[in-house]
Structure 1
Amino acid sequence: MVGLEIAQVMENRTKKRPRSAWDITPAQPQAKRAEVVSSTSNEVISRRRQASPPRRDDDREGHYVFNLGENLTPRYKILSKMGEGTFGRVLECWDRQTREYVAIKVVRSIRKYRNAAMIEVDVLQHLAKNDKGDSHCVQIRSWFDYRNHICIVFEKLGPSLFDFLKRNKYCPFPVDLVREFGRQLLESVACLGWSYPCDLWSVGCILVELCSGEALFQTHENLEHLAMMERVFGPLPEHMIRRADKGAEKYFRRGLRLNWPEGAVSRESIRAVNKLNRLKDLVSQHVESSRFSLTDLLNGLLMYEPSERLTARQALNHPFFNNLT
């Protein structure tokens, strides 16, 4: 009996009093609860998709490291790499705000390139402001500093140009091109110093690339670079070789002749040089009716001796451009 009484007492103690109506959370319909859960989940997924990627160290050259499909800031989704140059990389991105494709140049996280990028921004903004002809050859939309990388956003490119740039992995922005192709001249490789005529050499290289779809000299090795120049333009002038400083003496034999192919780093390097054509033959492969005037223009822009190169005004007045109008 005692055990039964204890059991009854414990049962009475564990019973809870009924909750008042005001103390009860109204029951939600099943469909409504599912809607709330789904909405919350979608919001979380959306935030995750637009979140910035985890911080990573830049590569050893100061380039921004990324994965395709992740975000470059919550606004821009990275779709592909369009190209890479001395200053940085150009990424094809989706602009979530305007729902457009854009090209974003992500400059290397190195002070001299960051400073040069800010100059580039000023130049491009000035060009856009004074584009009275509405040609829109270069359209800068905005720029921002992201994780110590200057990022320059360019307007949506037309389908044909966009496809060309992607196909040829080409960085399409003039200020960068001038500096990038400025490396591809004798003054630089042979340590002769440079001045304004180097810009005309750069323009000549750009015209060849626009003509052929490929960079004129695809190399970063100095001796191979000089050998490629001789292959395309003929022997280097002796008077320029004599003026080269001591840092360039290793590229020449007895101070008068290029140390090629003896100094080549590999057989592949020799083959890369040998497959190049003379300038007139290179142009003839891609141009028909205007090949003679274009070749003459390029010969003027790509003279070894800076003082003998065409000036910008002379180039603009060349018959090749007159025939285009």
Structure 2
Amino acid sequence: MSAAVHPVTSHLIPHYPRQSLNGISHNAAGPSVMPNASPVTTRKRKRAHQYTVSYSEVQEVDSDGRLREVIVIEDTPPPPTLSPATTHNGGYSASYQPPVYSAPIRTRAAARAEAQALSSSSSSVVTAPAPKKRKRDHQEEVRAPAAKKLAASSQQTQVLAPANSWDSRSAAATDDTAKGSSCDDKEGHYIIVPDDMIYRRYRTVRLLGQGTFGKVVEAVDTQTNTRVAIKIIRAIPKYRDASKIEVRVLQKLKERDPLNRKNHICLVSELLGMCVYDFLKENDFAPFPRHHIQAFARQLFGSVAFLHDLRLIHTDLKPENILLVHNDYRVVNVPIPGKRNGATKPKRILQSTDIRLIDFGSATFESEYHSTVVCTRHYRAPEIILGLGWSFPCDAYSLGCILVEFYTGLALYQTHDNLEHLAMMEMVMGKMPERFARAGARSKPEFFKDGAKLDWPKAKATRQSKKEVRATRPLADVIPPTDHINKQFLNLVQKLLAFDPNQRLTVREALAHPYFSLQIPEEV
């Protein structure tokens, strides 16, 4: 599922109130208590009745005579258009030839036989992408590599919702059933088999990616002869439950975006290009041209502002969750910094800057339960690390980190330790404001000393950790204000990376920043 840019007029929903560190927001109607202002205690997730999704549960008998349960969420089919991510060659990439549909649909018996063979041996067709080389927080759950992730434009996503898996592979979504099903592996993941049929309509092609939630596969819609991506949730209760929460988020987006088409527990969407992180990686982490960064930023801020206007916080903004619509690029030779002999190296320049924001699995309604820790480490705001509660400003902070990564090609913060992370933030942005630091010291006294001073380095800090913090440069060195474009870009990022969320620029305000009115010439 992705969010397109839909500017929402201010009269629809007022701007969210500024959150103060003591949990009181101030607006025209007077102070009101913010639900997430203090560290969150464990409690049951609240369900808002106005966001529930209507669906019907039916039972079907598959071709093997086995009974399966299906949840059907009514929606209209996607329009029969080709994915703009493909290299146009009859609608498919050069490496892919559309299957001929005159042959009989393969049976589940054949699928199970091939699945058993594949589960015991590796296959290039179903091998997940290699994990990327970023530092990871050892205590955090390892996330899926993002070679290609499920994406759905708000114009093209359809709803299909098998309750457990697509058929008798998981007749009941329990660990025991998942382990006992010949079409699921012992982890509850659906075993992907090329040319398998899903929901009597989608013929699988290959695995695109795998993560904690399940798998994403490329498939062909046999009704429209178009390529799609299908997100298949693991046959484990907690992941099924989490996916139903995502349904509510997508339903809310559809209420304000009527052309949106969506599905669950299977999300079927148009097939887009690679994620921005993978493009950076394949481009040897070369930064994007400045005019491309502005185009990316305008779309991202528009999408996130749309979410915020609907009282939704994305909570997991990062380059892996931003997909290119088109992968096409041209190659230019650019000078190698520090080389005096005129040596050059190739650099990929995108032909199109169209992008889509994806992955609403962690999106949270402002008025509902807020888990204590959100956001992937590299893009996590300081108020989250300090347990001060979080709201819309955490998305703004993540966007600031993403913009820096677009500009340099590398993540701004390379760390997996909370105190080290805070120390790096102070190297980038200067010392924390005293008021914010005192609030942090009350919440996390182990990170502070002498009242409101960050306790870094501690005696147990390693030499390497100290070295990495010292190597972290101030933001004005990362984005040198050498011309008017960089000065405005630096100013925007500084306001997004402010320590105090109460002083941070909102995403809607960021769209009005002078940076977006600049005419940036094309460059490489």
Residue 81, structure 1, aligned to residue 209, structure 2: yes
Q: 2:519, 2:362 → 1: CA distance?
A: 24
Report the aligned-residue RMSD.
Answer: 4.4
Question: 1:296: Cα distance to partner?
Answer: 0.5
Which one of the candidate residues 278, 299, 308 is aligned to 2:503?
308
The one of the two structures with greater contact order (alpha-carbon pairs below 8 A, sep at least 6) is 2
Q: 1:231, 1:295 → 2: CA distance?
A: 16
Question: 1:188: Cα distance to partner?
Answer: 1.1
Residues 267-313 of structure 1: CA distance to partner in whole angstroms, max 9, x if unpaired?
Answer: 4444443443322332349x976221111011112111222222334
Secondary structure of the residue that 1:290 maps to in structure 2? helix
Native 8 Å contact 2:111 2:193 kept in 1:
no
Native 8 Å contact 1:232 1:279 kept in 2:
yes
Aligned match of 2:271? 156
Residue 144, structure 1, aligned to residue 264, structure 2: yes
Native 8 Å contact 1:181 1:205 kept in 2:
no
Q: 1:226, 1:263 → 2: CA distance?
A: 16
Which one of the candidate residues 229, 249, 264 is aligned to 1:102?
229
Question: 1:207: Cα distance to partner?
Answer: 2.6
Native 8 Å contact 1:94 1:101 kept in 2:
yes
Question: 1:124: Cα distance to partner?
Answer: 4.7
Q: Considering only CA atoms, is the larger Rg found in Structure 1 or Structure 2?
A: 1
Aligned match of 1:261? 457
Equivalent positions of 1:51-200 (< 5 A) are 54-58=183-187, 65=189, 74=198, 75=202, 76-81=204-209, 88=212, 93-97=217-221, 98=225, 100=227, 102=229, 104=231, 109-110=238-239, 113-114=242-243, 116-126=245-255, 129=258, 142-145=262-265, 151-158=266-273, 164=279, 167=282, 170-172=320-322, 173=358, 175=360, 180=375, 184-200=380-396
Native 8 Å contact 1:228 1:276 kept in 2:
yes
Residues 134-159 of structure 1: CA distance to partner in whole angstroms, max 9, x if unpaired?
Answer: xxxxxx764322xxxxx544422147
Structure 1 residues 253 and 319 mapped into 2: Cα distance closer, same or farther (>3 Å)?
same
Percent same amino acid at aligned positions? 27
Aligned match of 2:490? 295
Residue 323, structure 1, aligned to residue 323, structure 2: no
Question: 1:266: Cα distance to partner?
Answer: 4.0
Question: 1:181: Cα distance to partner?
Answer: 5.7
Q: 1:105, 1:263 → 2: CA distance?
A: 47
Question: 1:319: Cα distance to partner?
Answer: 0.7
Aligned match of 1:249? 445
Q: Which piece of structure 1 moves more, 255-264 or 231-240?
A: 255-264
Native 8 Å contact 2:441 2:447 kept in 1:
no
Question: 1:209: Cα distance to partner?
Answer: 3.3
Native 8 Å contact 1:217 1:225 kept in 2:
yes
Secondary structure of the residue that 2:375 maps to in structure 1? helix
Native 8 Å contact 1:297 1:315 kept in 2:
yes
Native 8 Å contact 1:121 1:152 kept in 2:
no
**Residue type at the aligned position of 2:218:** W
Structure 1 residues 163 and 324 mapped into 2: Cα distance closer, same or farther (>3 Å)?
farther
Secondary structure of the residue that 2:249 maps to in structure 1? helix
**Residue type at the aligned position of 2:272:** L
Q: 2:515, 2:484 → 1: CA distance?
A: 11
**Residue type at the aligned position of 1:144:** H
Native 8 Å contact 1:198 1:306 kept in 2:
yes
Structure 1 residues 281 and 260 mapped into 2: Cα distance closer, same or farther (>3 Å)?
same
Residues 167-194 of structure 1: CA distance to partner in whole angstroms, max 9, x if unpaired?
Answer: 5881332646876269711211112223
Aligned match of 2:419? 223
TM-score by length of 2: 0.41
Q: 1:114, 1:160 → 2: CA distance?
A: 22
Aligned match of 2:355? none
Aligned match of 2:432? 236
Native 8 Å contact 1:165 1:171 kept in 2:
no
Structure 1 residues 245 and 262 mapped into 2: Cα distance closer, same or farther (>3 Å)?
closer
Q: 1:111, 1:196 → 2: CA distance?
A: 26
Structure 1 residues 126 and 90 mapped into 2: Cα distance closer, same or farther (>3 Å)?
farther
Q: 2:243, 2:216 → 1: CA distance?
A: 20
Structure 1 residues 103 and 161 mapped into 2: Cα distance closer, same or farther (>3 Å)?
farther
Question: 1:105: Cα distance to partner?
Answer: 7.9
Residue 279, structure 1, aligned to residue 403, structure 2: no
Secondary structure of the residue that 1:96 maps to in structure 2? strand
Native 8 Å contact 1:143 1:152 kept in 2:
yes
TM-score by length of 1: 0.61
Structure 1 residues 121 and 314 mapped into 2: Cα distance closer, same or farther (>3 Å)?
closer
Secondary structure of the residue that 1:321 maps to in structure 2? helix
Q: 2:277, 2:452 → 1: CA distance?
A: 45
Secondary structure of the residue that 1:117 maps to in structure 2? helix
Question: 1:115: Cα distance to partner?
Answer: 5.2
Structure 1 residues 80 and 94 mapped into 2: Cα distance closer, same or farther (>3 Å)?
closer
Residue correspondences, number = 262
